[in-house]
Structure formats: C-alpha cells, structure tokens
Structure 1
Amino acid sequence: MTKPKVLISGASVAGPALAYFLHRSGYDVTVVERAPLVRDSGYAVDFRGAAFEVLAEMAILDEIRGHDTKMRGTTLVDDSGTEIGQLPTESFAGELEVPKSALTRILHEITADDVEYIFGDSITALAPTGSDIAVEFERGAAGKFDLVFGADGVHSNVRRLAFGPAVGELRHLGMSGTGFTTANYLGLDRQGLLQSGQGTAVYLFSTQDSDRLTVSLSFATVSPEWDRCSRAEQEQAVRTAFAGQGWEVPRLLDAMADAEDFYFGSSCQVHLDAWSRGRVALVGDAGYCAAPTSGMGTSQALIGARTLAHHLVETTGDHEYAFTAYETELRPYVTDNQMKGYRAAATFGAAAQAASTQPDY
C-alpha cells in the first residue's frame, strides 16, 4: 500500500512535531523551510500543561529538561532602576523554559533520518487537482502531495496561498518592539529586570550564557506597519518611542545599533473561521497564533501538531473529517490562550490603546 505523501511548510516547532507524529503513523513526510539551515536563533520558549505529555510521547522530555534555563524570577524596577516588586519565575518561564535553539535542534534530530527536509526553499503555488495538490517551489522541482500543512508562522505563506488575503485574520494587540543581545554589563545571573511605563516596556534577562544580556524593548503601536520596514526605520521607531527615558535605556539604544541578532516584530493573533481548506490545513501560529504575550505559543504548537496527527490516524486518512475533528477539539483551548494573550498585552497599557473594547473571542 502506498504511503500518503504529505508536505509541511515550516521547520521550527509545529512542523517537525507534526512530521514526527505523521511519520510514526505511516506517512511519507517532506518538510520545506525557507531558512538555509535549522534555525539556531530565537529566545527562550516555555512549556505549560499538556505540552509535557507531548514531549514525553516523543521521548524527548528528559533531554529538553536538560536545557532548563533555571530562571530565578524577574525584578520590577521604576524609572530610576529602583526595585518596586518581584514576579515569580513562572510569569515568564512557565513550568519549564529552554532556549528555542535547543528545542528546534532536538526536534530536527529525532526526525531527520525519517523525514525529507528541504532547506532554503519555499512554496510558490498550490493547485488542488481533486485527488491531490500540485505544489510549485521557488527553487526545487514541482511535486504532488496528498495533503499540505502550513506550520510556517504568523505570516504564513501557506495560509496566504490556500486561503487568500483574508481580511481581519491578523489581529494586532497594540505592541511592537525589538529584541537583541548585548554584553551582560549588568551581571544578571538567570534573572530578569522589567521596567514598564505608559506604553513602553523594557525587559532584560540573562539565562545560560552569562556573558550575554537579552534585551526586549516594546512600545505601543496601532498597527504592525513597522514589521514591513527596513531595519533603519525600525530602529528609528524604537528610538522615537523611548526618547527621553532614563535608567539603562540610552545605553540599550546605543547597543541596538551594533546588535548582529536584531529582531523586530509585533504582537499579533491569527483569527480564522476555519483552519483548513480542502487538502490544506494549518497548525500552530500559522492557524491560530495567540501572540507571545500569551506564553502559550510553543505549547500550543506541540499540542496542535499531536491533535491534528491523531485525528488523521483515527479517521484512517479521511482528511475532511479529521480536519473538522481537529478544529472542534482544539479551538476552545486556542480561544482561551488568545484571551490570555490579549489580557497580558493589556497589562502593558498597549492593547488598551489599540482597541477601545475587548475583542469578541
């Protein structure tokens, strides 16, 4: 019997996790990833609740625990840097926190021998034929697959190609900002510092690499327009938002210009009426991003991947029924996480500025 042939776009978390479960169930799996190699960047990610069951089922929980950042909490400071409170470790680190690079490396390692990975390429066209999907790639030869899955993040290419430019699918939570690392001149040791003002927030922390300080500078915005701008324009937006602020801010703004790992992004959620269309389905942030402020992105990606694979196996490949069952089971969990993401953004005074009333979840 011929194995069902599936294509997954995205090799971060949801993609390799889905690849693992589908291969285990007898699928012929290919993963395509725009990046040239397994991504070794990204800040720490955390795990909560049922995500531990997924890691245990994949037999990687103990290995993941070995990369625990062992964060010891976050100190709240005022404009002068004076301590005004403490946040417990789980506020940012969940029940377990590890560097994202460690997670993506492990997920790739446990699938690399069984799954075909194509790096440095991306999907350019999807054409359903009734019994399969014809797929064209930016660099590689075209192919046909029984199913295609988008696990390619909040700005999903697969979602755009399969669903079209859906109006309102991205919901901006009123926050944008930059992240980068610099020398750990504050001497933080598995600790964080958080200064939150009116419409801005500075979060500094150091984890396993004691020589490096991770910097997050967030500010209130009314749209994710800066995401599409050049780095120079993004840096200027950050400087404008933090102009005149004291404490460590001037030094951090200077360090931003020299950062080789500069990243800029906005807190957005993905809201769709359905997570599948024909033989295409979305998993993780591509289908239902809850925003970084939810603290649930990684857990949601893992749980979503296992849930989707489970229903495909349970229905012996009846993708229409499986996709419906997948969404029916997972949507209440996602809705709760998206509410958490919205409320967390609102605590920084950003979401409230971008939306006068709470969204209808």
Structure 2
Amino acid sequence: MDVLISGAGIAGPALAHWLARFGFSPVVVERAPSLRGGGQPVDFRGEAHLSVLRRMGVLDAVLAARTTPRDMVFRGLDGRERARLPGSFTAGDVEILRGDLSRLLYELSAADAEYVFGDWVTSLHDDGDGVDVTFAHGPSRRFDFVIGADGMRSGVRRLVFPRYRPEFQGYYFAIWDADGDDHDLTCSPGVVSAPGWLMYRSPVPPELMPDSLVAPGVYFDSVSRVRMPSVSSGRVALIGDAGYGSTLGGMGTGLAVVSAYVLAGEMAAGGDAFAATKP
C-alpha cells in the first residue's frame, strides 16, 4: 500500500521507517527544500520513549549525539542566584538537538522511503477507496492513505479539518544562540545568556505577527496547542503536533516517535479496515 506522509520533521521520518518495515511504500513530502536543521534541544523521558528508539535501532546513535544538560539559574538584579533547575531535571533521560534527531531519523528511513523536498499538498480527495492528492509543484498522485505529520500549523489538517486551528495561549517565545556561561542558562531581569531565551505576553494573534520581526538564527513561535475530538477522517489521519501538539511541555518529540510506532502497527494489523468511517 502507498502511504503519503506530509512532513519530514520527527514524526514523519519515524512513521516512514515503521511503515516500510511493515511492508508499506511510504512517500514523504516536505515543504522545505532540504532537511531543517537547528531548533532547540528535545528530550526523551521514560522507558516507553527509549524502548521505541531501541526497537528502531537508533538509540545508540541518539545517545552518541546527546547534549550535555545545563542548569537553569535564575538571578536577581544584584546578580545573586535566586533559584536553580538542575539540567538533569529539564533534559529528561536523553536530550538531543532537534536537527540532529531529524537527520538521524531521515538517514534511518531514506533507503526505504521516497522523499520529495520543496513541495506540499494543495488538495485531497478521499473517495473511500483511496486518496487523490495534488501538489504545489509535482504531478497529482493517488495513495491508499495520507498522514499529516506537518506540525502545529499542519496543511493537511487545514484541508481535512478546517474547523480546528492551533489555540493561541497569549504568549510568544524566542530562542537564539548567545555568548555566556558554558554551564548555566542564566535568566535575570533584562539579562539572558547561553543560549538566549525570551518569553512575553501579547494580545496580537500569530496570523498578524509580521515575518520581518524575526531575525536570522532566531527560533520564534507562539505558545499554542491543538485539540481535536478525532485525528482521523476516512483514509486521512494526523500524527504528532499536527493532531495533538503543544508548543511547550517537553513531551512532543517522544510522543511523536511513540505515536509513529503505534500508528504503523495499527495500520499493518488493520490494512484497508484501518480506514475509519468519516465523522
């Protein structure tokens, strides 16, 4: 069976790996012209996360690329330490840069999946027996299933579930590299260092925030979440942040990897019967 996966971040390549192992033919389409590097550190917590990485055969590579967790130190205007969050608490069991993890999962799945960069889904038509898909640049194709793994602002969700959009929580945050102590993330009024971190409240919704506000090298996003009563409709489904994402919380990456494992297993067990009745 041919399965289209929209999104080559974390959930998409993880799902492509498992689907290929179960005998599916995955195609991953990614809007960016190449794999997206950068991003903040992400972490895995608990045996559920680690066991899936182990079954994928990628745990050793993740451990080899892990970061060194740093304490988060809060200081007053006088420079004196007021509070400290240990790095072992904030980083989970294994912390790795998002870009490094994305590359590892891509390399794991690339030999068994077709990757198409610089393109995206523009329309979907599910006739019950398959899904006809049109793309911004490539030719139209037909798939047995379509999975949206394209993040908080999912294009697949917008096409199939137009009612459900990310719920803005009233805050924005930015992360950037900055000079500072190699061991501490220091936060004090007006002073942020190593790496830079800023969060602020604003009534301006994300759709009105100008792109020119963000400088190169800065990761900037709204604090939002996605809540839906169902993440599937017929032969189309959502996974990861596209269906149940939250900008902050520390569990999104592990949940995406575990969800890919579970979804692929259910699809393999159910075959055509996996297609749910449209609500």
Q: What's the counterpart of residue 54 of structure 1?
A: 52
Is 1:217 the counterpart of 2:210? The answer is no
List aligned pairs for 1:3-18, cutoff 5 A: 4-18=1-15
For 1:269 and 1:202, locate their aligned partners in 2 and report how far apart those are by CA, in whole Å: 28
For 2:19 and 2:80, locate their aligned partners in 1 and report how far apart those are by CA, in whole Å: 52
Measure how far apart 1:323 and its partner are: 11
CA 1:100/1:227 → structure 2, altered by over 3 Å: closer, same or farther? farther
Letter in 1 for 2:145: L
Contact 2:168-2:206 within 8 A present in 1 as well: no
Measure how far apart 1:67 and its partner are: 1.2
Q: What's the counterpart of residue 253 of structure 1?
A: none
CA deviation digits over 1:89-118, x for unaligned, max 9?
134312211111110110010111110000
Equivalenced residue count is: 278
For 1:309 and 1:323, locate their aligned partners in 2 and report how far apart those are by CA, in whole Å: 20
Q: Which has the higher contact order (CA 8 A, sep 6+)?
A: 2
For 1:67 and 1:322, locate their aligned partners in 2 and report how far apart those are by CA, in whole Å: 42
Contact 1:202-1:218 within 8 A present in 2 as well: no
Q: What's the counterpart of residue 230 of structure 1?
A: 210
Measure how far apart 1:82 and its partner are: 2.5
For 1:191 and 1:62, locate their aligned partners in 2 and report how far apart those are by CA, in whole Å: 27
Letter in 2 for 1:313: A
Q: Between Structure 1 and Structure 2, which shows a larger proportion of strand residues?
A: 2
Measure how far apart 1:202 and its partner are: 6.8
Is 1:43 the counterpart of 2:18? The answer is no
For 2:191 and 2:154, locate their aligned partners in 1 and report how far apart those are by CA, in whole Å: 29
List aligned pairs for 1:1-361, cutoff 5 A: 4-49=1-46, 50-164=48-162, 166-167=163-164, 169-182=165-178, 184=179, 186=180, 188-195=181-188, 204-205=193-194, 214-222=195-203, 225-226=205-206, 228-232=208-212, 234=213, 259-292=215-248, 294-320=249-275
CA 1:92/1:222 → structure 2, altered by over 3 Å: closer, same or farther? farther
Contact 2:235-2:276 within 8 A present in 1 as well: no
Measure how far apart 1:177 and its partner are: 2.2
For 1:322 and 1:113, locate their aligned partners in 2 and report how far apart those are by CA, in whole Å: 33
SS at match of 1:64: helix
SS at match of 1:318: helix
Contact 1:44-1:99 within 8 A present in 2 as well: yes
For 1:190 and 1:227, locate their aligned partners in 2 and report how far apart those are by CA, in whole Å: 37
CA deviation digits over 1:145-164, x for unaligned, max 9?
00000000000000001112
CA deviation digits over 1:286-342, x for unaligned, max 9?
0000332x1101011111111111111222442236999xxxxxxxxxxxxxxxxxx
CA 1:12/1:322 → structure 2, altered by over 3 Å: closer, same or farther? farther
For 1:53 and 1:228, locate their aligned partners in 2 and report how far apart those are by CA, in whole Å: 42
Contact 2:145-2:235 within 8 A present in 1 as well: yes
Contact 1:311-1:323 within 8 A present in 2 as well: no
Contact 1:133-1:144 within 8 A present in 2 as well: yes
CA 1:132/1:298 → structure 2, altered by over 3 Å: closer, same or farther? same
SS at match of 1:98: strand
For 2:222 and 2:206, locate their aligned partners in 1 and report how far apart those are by CA, in whole Å: 8
Contact 1:202-1:216 within 8 A present in 2 as well: no
Q: What's the counterpart of residue 330 of structure 1?
A: none
SS at match of 1:110: helix
Q: Between Structure 1 and Structure 2, which shows a larger proportion of helix residues?
A: 1
Contact 2:233-2:277 within 8 A present in 1 as well: no
Structure 1 gap segments, 5+ residues each: 206-213, 236-258, 325-361
Structure 2 gap segments, 5+ residues each: none
CA 1:181/1:227 → structure 2, altered by over 3 Å: closer, same or farther? farther
Contact 2:233-2:276 within 8 A present in 1 as well: no
Contact 2:42-2:97 within 8 A present in 1 as well: yes
Letter in 1 for 2:28: V
Measure how far apart 1:194 and its partner are: 2.7
Measure how far apart 1:203 and its partner are: 5.5
For 1:300 and 1:291, locate their aligned partners in 2 and report how far apart those are by CA, in whole Å: 13
SS at match of 1:6: strand
Measure how far apart 1:71 and its partner are: 1.4
